Each structure stands twice: as structure tokens, then as C-alpha cells.
Amino acid sequence: MFWPLLVICLGQALWVFLSWSWRPDPSMVLSATPVGEGGAIYEVLYDSGGATGSYVYRYFVMERQPSEAALFEKTRKAKPFLVTKMPGAVREVVGTSVKLRTRDTLYDFHNVASFKVGGQLTIVRFYLDATRP
């Protein structure tokens, strides 16, 4: 009786582990800032922290999306170039150069990202001014 029960428990644990979402679902798109030819920087709010957690803002650069649903589907596989606790980090966009500013916790940052539109690769460079209050 022990072995069948162990197999069932291990199978259940494996199913829970494999179906677990490692990144919370996005709550809403706060802004879409045009960048380059056909691209956009999307500021996406993740408020899954509950009563004790704070909001987290993830910033993605990709080709312009036709709807919020399409964007949310893309963000499941896309890697954000900036993850922070501060909204409104995009300050200025000139072509494919973007100035960012954050004054709160910075979880992750990459100073170069890219997106494709019609097979054309566009590289975007980010310049971050970050301090902690």
C-alpha cells in the first residue's frame, strides 16, 4: 500500500511543480512609449504581492502590439529590460536611445534590448539614472 501512495504523491507534486507560474500575471499596461520604427516600450504593472507586497513594474521593449491581450501573451516569454518598484521610469526617447530614471528599488536592468519588425532588427540602448531615497 505504501508504494502506490508514494507514486501518487510524487506525481501530484510533479504536476504542481510543472504547472506553477514562475512570473505573476500582469495586472495592467500603464504606458506604451513609441521607440524606433514600429516599436514600443511597455510599462506593465504586476500587483500580485497581495496585502503585504508592493507593486512591481516591468518594462518591455518589443514591436507594437495590437491589444493588451496580445501584449500580455508576449510578456509571458519576453524578458523585461527593467524591473523596479517605481512607475514612470521612461523619461525621454530619441530614436532608439532611451533615458530612464528610478528612485526606488531596482531589481533588474539591462542597458541594451532589441525587437524585430518585419524581419528588421532594431537595437535600443537605455541610459539609467538610479538612486535610492
Is position 16 within any domain? no
Residue 69 lies in a domain: yes
Distance of alpha carbon 1 from alpha carbon 74, whole angstroms: 46
Position 21 pLDDT exceeds 60 = no
Residue 32, domain extent: 21-130
Q: How confident is the model at residue 8, as a pLDDT?
A: 82
> What pLDDT does residue 122 have?
96
pLDDT at 7: 81
Q: Is there a domain that residue 37 lies in? A: yes
In this prediction, residue 131 has a pLDDT band, given cuts at 50, 70 and 90, of confident
In a domain, 13, yes or no: no
| pTM for the model | 0.79
Q: State the pLDDT at residue 27.
A: 80
Residue 3 lies in a domain: no
Residue 39 vs residues 22, 61, 128: alpha-carbon distances, Å: 27, 7, 20
- In-domain check, residue 59: yes
Residue 8 belongs to a domain: no
**Number of domains into which the chain is organized:** 1
